[in-house]
Structure 1
Amino acid sequence: MTSPRPLFPELARLRWPLIQAPMAGAQDARLALAVGRAGALGSLPAAMLSPEALERELQAMQAADLPCNVNFFAHRPPDATQADAAEIRWRQALAPLRAEFGLGENDGPTPASRQPFDAAMAEVLERCPPAVVSFHFGLPDAALLARVRALGCRILSSATTLREAQWLQAQGVDAVIAQGLEAGGHRGHFLDTDPDRQSDMLTLVTACAQALEVPVIAAGGIGTAAEVRAALAAGARAVQVGTAFLCCDEATTGPLHRARLLDPQAPTALTNLFSGGLARGLYNRLMAEFGPVSALAPPFPRASAALAPLRAAAERLGRDDFTPLWSGTNRRGCRAVPAAEIVEALTAGLSPAG
């Protein structure tokens, strides 16, 4: 059996080189706690939380005496004038669908907005510092990053190409998450936004492990123990897995999303329709109407507001037409069982650390 080294010395009490991917909209602290109790590193997605909500989640992890990874977005909000104009065009494009569902211009809920890491969130971390802080879409500005580093938190960020990984290393991150094209949810790109310049997980991990001095964490297309071992053999020090946890008991994934995840024939696609940012999800009606990628979608994260009423109306009818059904290409490990069973299945064949 393979015995992995701890990713960082202070995480040596974790038994497995496994990070549960942060998944906004599909989890809260309950999943992170279950993963942590099973010996892996649980994660909290913070991009759609208020500072008060994040503090409550962190307090739950600390009360259980479990380390966790807190994930933030580091995107730059789009120019307001251009985004407003794009959102008007998007609403006009969606008007026939609103009419089909009997919706007025202003009917329906307003979704939580995805916010980049800011001073208010830094203050939360200063009150409740986690073991690990990770970022998506690059890194925040130097002053904010320095506040996180001063807390002693390990800093991670996602890269979709070797160039992005090398840039992150030059900025002083403690490890790079190599996000292959197979990964579900939003692409973490920030320098190389064209998916044609991005690669599968094993290719990216191999390149990063050979070129970087900092540890590499493999993400994308990992759903079985054999795939975990393959990623470690390619040079990763740990793996990050999301899709396999989406149907577990502790996830908050909705019933329509769960049903599609458990359909082995359901295809995925990279799409910008749901948020304006490129993300991998299960194919549904919205992608059929506009094509998975459309210039009509406003820039990230502005596309979601106009879709919220349509999503709510369709879901009331038991339909997932306008629901973001995030999923990686590999759903072999996705099962409706406790999260601890997912951890056990993914780490079969590994010897516990320490």
Structure 2
Amino acid sequence: MSEKRSSETEAVRRLGVRYPIIQGPFGGGLSTPRLAATVSNLGGLGSYGAYTVSPDEILRLAQELRSLTSNPFALNLWVSDHDPGGLELSPAEFDRVYALFEPYYRELGVEKPERPQRYAWRFEEQVEALLEARPPVFSFVFGVPSASILAECRKRGIVTVGGATSIAEAQALDSAGVDLIVATGFEAGGHRPSFLARAEDSLLGTFALTQLVADRVKAPVISAGGISDGRGIRAALTLGAQAGQLGTAFLACEESGATAEHRAALFSPQSQHTALTRAFSGRLARGLRNRWSDEMGPRVAELPPFPIQGWFASKLRPAAIKAGRTDLISLWSGQSAPNLRHRTATELMASLVRELESPGEAQQRGG
């Protein structure tokens, strides 16, 4: 019984879930209502990364998730929606940037895109829709929402969860009154959600960051990065976290929006080789090394800022996916991918719960 009580944390209580298991949110179409609802229905917190989603779609998403689960779920947004210079390009600059991409567009048979009215949705518009949608949990990265937004969340009973990559960021979130804080180590796949210093200067490991943050904030801490099984969650709990967040392990499941080729790569020897790069979106992110990261990584100084870089890269994605290509698109992955074992969220959740409640099984499973 004492082992079971170890997972009955304040974070679990605040989130209204059964287990200290959080499914990390994925943007760019990698999240699905099916995945989030499956995790929530099995006692964890399912999440949907909505930073590329329109305000109207956010309302529809929340409605769909509520039709699939009666348990808490999270919608995730990016507080900082652009880097300096990332709102527009002059016609001349647009042509200069396109010239960098043109060989890849030609290779995949993609026409030159027209200059858009906008390169991404603005956070202010998205969060207004999120507040209207009133999800049980609002998780966010790349900053701290305004005091008025956090006050609206409290008023509407929305639990707030913010991401931090340093002590200073965690303290900023805590001072603002955010309900829970995700300590995100550099082992994690996807984007580094740093907002007070350059992401390259905010590369603490998950377990170092977990201890440092847990000792300095009032809010419960969720540990993220390099956690792929129950023993990883238990280690995080031992170090002061009150829940563990898994991204890559859930991304590899068939319920996610990852392509079959992406999932196959996560279970292949390629998973042993990840890299942090700005080559895909303009912001630092960890994924499997491939041709794009190798060829465009050294040229990041020539590339436009976020989100414009990601907009140009995204135009290649449909053609690459149709052709079954993985060399020219992002393949987000954390450093623990070589230990992935489960291909469905149902199997993964069952294994996590078993390993949390029977630590001996986790210790005996081997590498």
| TM-score, normalization by structure 2 | 0.86
In 1, the alpha carbon distance for the partners of 2:30 and 2:353 equals 23
Which of 59, 62, 66 is the equivalent residue of 2:66?
Answer: 62
Letter matched to residue 314 of structure 2: A
Q: Offset at 1:10?
A: 4.8
Deviates more, 1:281-290 or 1:87-96: 87-96
Percent identical pairs in the alignment equals 37
How far did residue 19 of structure 1 move?
0.7
State how 1:1-354 maps to structure 2 within 5 Å: 1-3=3-5, 4-6=7-9, 7=11, 9-12=13-16, 14-24=17-27, 25-63=29-67, 64-79=69-84, 83-84=88-89, 87-106=94-113, 114-119=120-125, 121-126=127-132, 128-266=133-271, 267-291=273-297, 294-332=300-338, 334-335=340-341, 337-351=343-357
Cα deviation for residue 62 of structure 1 reads 2.6
In 2: Cα distance, 1:193 partner to 1:177 partner:
18
Figure out how many residues of one structure are paired with residues of the other and give that number.
348
Quick one: distance in 1 between partners of 2:202 and 2:40? 35
Instruction: Quote the Cα distance in structure 2 between the aligned partners of 1:46 and 1:258.
Output: 21
Q: Is this contact kept in 2: 1:119–1:144, CA < 8 A?
A: no
Aligned-partner Cα distance in 2 for 1:252–1:194: 26
Deviations 1:177-231 (A, max 9, x none): 0000001111110002242442110000010111112111000000121111111
My pick for the range that moved more, 113-122 or 136-145, is: 113-122
Query: Measured at CA, do residues 131 and 292 of structure 1 come closer, stay the same or move farther in structure 2, by a change above 3 Å?
Result: farther
In structure 1, list runs of 5 or more residues that go unmatched.
none
- 1:70 CA displacement: 1.2
Tell me, in whole angstroms, the C-alpha distance in 1 between the residues paired with 2:57 and 2:81. 23
Q: How big is the shift at 1:60?
A: 2.9
Larger helix percent:
2
Tell me the amino acid that sits aligned with residue 340 of structure 1.
T
Task: Describe the SS at the equivalent of 1:198.
Answer: coil
Measure how far apart 1:162 and its partner are.
Answer: 0.8
1:155 deviation in Å?
1.0
User: Residue type matched to 1:35 in 2?
Assistant: V
For residues 52 and 182 of structure 1, what CA distance do their matches in structure 2 show? 34
Counterpart of 1:334, as a letter, is L
Deviation for aligned residue 1:94: 2.0
- Give the direction of change, closer, same or farther, for the CA distance of 1:208–1:291 in structure 2 (3 Å limit): same
Structure 2 Cα separation of the partners of residues 311 and 120 of structure 1: 24
Q: What is the distance in 1 between the residues matched to 2:94 and 2:53?
A: 23
Q: CA deviation at 1:105?
A: 2.6
Deviation at 1:246, TM superposition (A): 1.3
SS in 2 for 1:259: helix
Change over 3 Å in CA distance of 1:347–1:166 after alignment to 2: same
Residues 61 and 67, structure 1, Cα contact 8 Å, conserved in 2: no
User: Contact 1:26–1:253 at 8 Å: present in 2 too?
Assistant: yes
How has the CA–CA distance of structure 1 residues 100 and 70 changed in structure 2, closer, same or farther, with 3 Å as cutoff? closer
Q: Output the aligned Cα RMSD.
A: 2.6
Q: Distance in 2 between matches of 1:118 and 1:209?
A: 30
* Whole-angstrom CA distance in 2 between matches of 1:45 and 1:175: 17
Q: Which has the higher mean CA deviation after the structures are superposed, 135-144 or 281-290?
A: 135-144
Aligned AA (1:170): S
